Structure 1
Amino acid sequence: MEQVRRAPLADQAADLLLARIRAGEWPLGARLPGETTLGPQLGVGRSTVREAIRQLAGRGVLTSRQGSGVYVTALDAPEDWDVVLRRADIVSVIEARIAIESEAAGLAAERRTPADLRALRRALEDRAARRSQIEDHVDADMAFHRAVVTASHNSILVELFDGFVPRLRQAMVEMLRIRGEFGGDDDHDVHTDVLAAISTHDVALAARLSRAHLDSLKENLR
């Protein structure tokens, strides 16, 4: 396993952690190993690991939950998107998601494979099971939406979606805290319907359901 060899150590450690996340070692929502495990893997001390985690948290890739651990909240941190999305109004981000995800849902209905369906069903089941904690629920929701985009088999759409995740996740967590309710059956049923449309190759319905869901989300954010 590659280790840190040059200073600044925290920057190098952050780059290596991000490379492992990009490579799929930890999926969206996964908990990272502890500092005592990561330190030897990277060839650095615990304080350097903590600083590397802080750097990636600042870029929206990781989040620390007190008493729980460090979790993956984005699978990449495209530098060009970071500046754009920090300045963007969240409604603008949702509008861009509508363009990306409604197209992706239609393509997923057309192109999905049996493996894609299995991944979507697992993501939907995970989403259903994670309704008690806001951050867990948002992470599971993002994972399902990413599985839909992945099933489109369009790498550019996947890259665009990943660029939105840090900005979107923060906004969703804040919104749900204000509303005080989340994870209801009606909301989950919409996601079930999207999966059903993808499963039956109904391109138009999958795109329409995805757009309607995100339109509703945009209205709730106003």
Structure 2
Amino acid sequence: MPLVTTTRTGLVDQVIAQMRELVTSGEWPLGQRIPPEAELVNALGVGRNTVREAVRALAHAGLLEVRQGDGTFVRATSELSGAVRRLCDSELRQVLEVRRALEVESARLAATARTETDVDELREILDAREAAIHERDRERMIEHDSLFHLRLVGASHNPALVELYQGISEAVRSSIASTVDSDTPPEQAVSHTDLLNAVRDGDPATAAAEAGGFLEELLTQIGRNDEADPVH
């Protein structure tokens, strides 16, 4: 989607609208850096101050993130996702609690709303995750585990849930990275096979229980660690 030169009325609002559309449409993908200021100035036909004000507004809304010396990056795909992201930029326990709320309900819905394509794609991702576990490839395991949970939420076919979950996708990935130990023997690693089977078989209760079970274990472990090493 090309940028279009704006008219001379409501410049900031017009620039904000165009940049928001580029974000929400995926033309500027989540996590990627947007064009530099000089390029935006030329493409939009406005001054630097107008571009800067638009960037500040979108950063305040949570869609963009300005990293000094590195550029401006897409942080969320909507104001709603941005708000959820801000709420989840906190400690691991809180992120896991939010994940539990969203993933349990998503699994329950996915068990009745999933399509054959959903199940096939989830199986493919899960197979890649299992291969990464057996190969002790930590980065690939994190990548495919994150993708599995995101795709499972997508299988709920509930746009609001998907939007909320996409908003915390980076926080989810960070929480997975914080709880993955490449030294754990493959046979002791968390398995999502029963979760996928419950979704495939149309069993909402089991799907919800499987989705919440491993998160409950992680939260319990964090609680034990907090008790053993209290913060004063």
TM class by shorter chain equals 0.5 to 0.7
Partner of 1:147: 151
Report the Cα distance in structure 2 between the residues aligned to 1:197 and 1:89, rounded to whole angstroms: 31
Distance verdict in 2 for CA 1:16–1:94, change over 3 Å: farther
What is the aligned length?
213
Partner of 2:227: none
Task: Note the 1:7-156 alignment, pairs <5 A.
Answer: 19-24=21-26, 75-76=77-78, 78=80, 81-82=83-84, 85=87, 88-127=90-129, 128-129=131-132, 131-132=138-139, 137-138=142-143, 140-156=144-160
CA RMSD in angstroms comes to 5.1
Q: Helix, strand or coil: the match of 2:181? A: coil
Distance verdict in 2 for CA 1:183–1:77, change over 3 Å: farther
The TM-score, its normalising length taken from structure 1, stands at 0.61
Distance verdict in 2 for CA 1:61–1:104, change over 3 Å: same
1:109 is displaced (CA, Å) by 0.9
One-letter amino acid of the structure 2 residue matched with residue 114 of structure 1: E
Q: Which digits, 9 at most, give the CA deviation of each residue in 1:19-75, with x for residues without a partner?
A: 44533558778x78998xx98xx679xxxxxxx99x999988789xxxxxx998755
1:215 is displaced (CA, Å) by 1.2
Identity of aligned residues (%): 31
Q: Which has the higher contact order (CA 8 A, sep 6+)?
A: 1
Detail structure 1 runs of 4+ shifted over 6 Å in the superposition. Answer: 6-9, 11-15, 26-29, 31-35, 55-63, 70-73
Report the Cα distance in structure 1 between the residues aligned to 2:110 and 2:28, rounded to whole angstroms: 24
Report the Cα distance in structure 2 between the residues aligned to 1:155 and 1:215, rounded to whole angstroms: 26
Question: Rg: which structure is higher?
Answer: 2
Partner of 2:210: 209
Unpaired stretches in structure 1, ≥5 consecutive residues: 45-51, 64-69
Q: Which digits, 9 at most, give the CA deviation of each residue in 1:67-92, with x for residues without a partner?
A: xxx99875545376258515754323
Distance verdict in 2 for CA 1:132–1:157, change over 3 Å: closer
